[in-house]
Amino acid sequence: MALVCYIYIVPVRCLRKRFLLNSFRTHGPVTTWGEFMGRYINLVGYRTERKISGYLLKMASDQIQGWLNNWESDCTPWHMSDVHEGLANHYDILVNKPAAKNKIFVPLCGKSVDIKWLADRGNEVVGVEAAEMGLVEFFTEQNIEYSVEEVPSVKGKLFRSRDNKIRLYFCDIFDFSADIESGFSGVWDRGSMEALEFDDRKRYFKLMKSLISPDTGYLSEIVERDLGKGPPYCVTADEIEASFGSGCKVTKLMTVTKLPEYAFHISDFIGLNVFSITFH
């Protein structure tokens, strides 16, 4: 099964920042994934296999290779140092149970500071991430004691905080299931849904349906740009509602004002919006 992850278009924080900036000044911003990879691969090289932390990952696409290269090059232009304003403004949607029992799922979590923010409010936080380095950096940068254990059922590892409030799985998201973790009061989907191509989004929606219940609160940030371009991809309300099925309703809550770095380098970028997804 292919490891599924995502990458945004312009990595201006790379260790090779000077090369990339000169490239964009000379040739302009990229508008397609292929154009970006053409420039990036010329710089970093391309390999179809890569051994990372003891796991031999067979690359199914240049998307995956680029994603892992980004982490290794300290190149994460989607990462934000502050808690997401959409999460802070609409947090109550995710916590429909008594505080001690709230459990929030963060798919493709990276090293998001939102994880600690949620845990600091008494929630259990479960995340899934394909780049092990992102999880190591999260616990290190947030100064949280943690342990690591092998989890054969997901073909990966579990990074667990000492108090067990934070559990982050290093694995392919499609190896994750309700048999591993369930009973979520909320889902904070910041950039996960929009990271996947159409066929993988079908599998993603199927997975998410198995993890949620009618009373699960669901918040999602989705980019607004030309349809079909990406990643990140513009995922329409119609697609979400059709994929989750009858009773699903998508409601726009706000437009994000504090933008991640990558947003300034997408030529067809319109905006980032936060939606609530409800189920009846």
Question: In this predicted model, what pLDDT tens digit does every residue of 7-51 receive, in sequence order?
Answer: 333 333 443 444 444 444 444 554 444 444 444 333 333 333 333
Name the domain boundary from 72, 104, 136.
72
Return the CATH number at 256: 3.40.50.150
**DSSP E strand stretches across 94-165:** 103-107, 124-129, 146-151, 156-161
57 found inside a domain: yes
pLDDT for the residue 92: 95
Which band of pLDDT confidence, cut at 50, 70 and 90, is reported for residue 217?
very high
CA dist., res. 168 & res. 226, Å (int): 33
**57 and 164 assigned to the same domain:** no
What SS3 class is residue 148?
strand
Please give the Cα distance from 91 to 57 (Å, whole number).
36
Last residue of a domain, one of 72, 107, 137: 72
For residue 77, is it within any domain? no
Q: What is the pLDDT of residue 231?
A: 85
Is 0.85 surpassed by the pTM of this model?
no
Closest CA to 146 of 132, 154, 155: 132
Distance CA 247, CA 212 (A): 13
| Residue range(s) defining the domain that contains residue 24 | 17-72
Residues 182 and 120 in one domain: yes
Rounded distance, CA 277 to CA 106, Å? Answer: 15
Number of domains in the chain: 2
Q: Are residues 223 and 155 in the same domain?
A: yes
40 located within any domain: yes
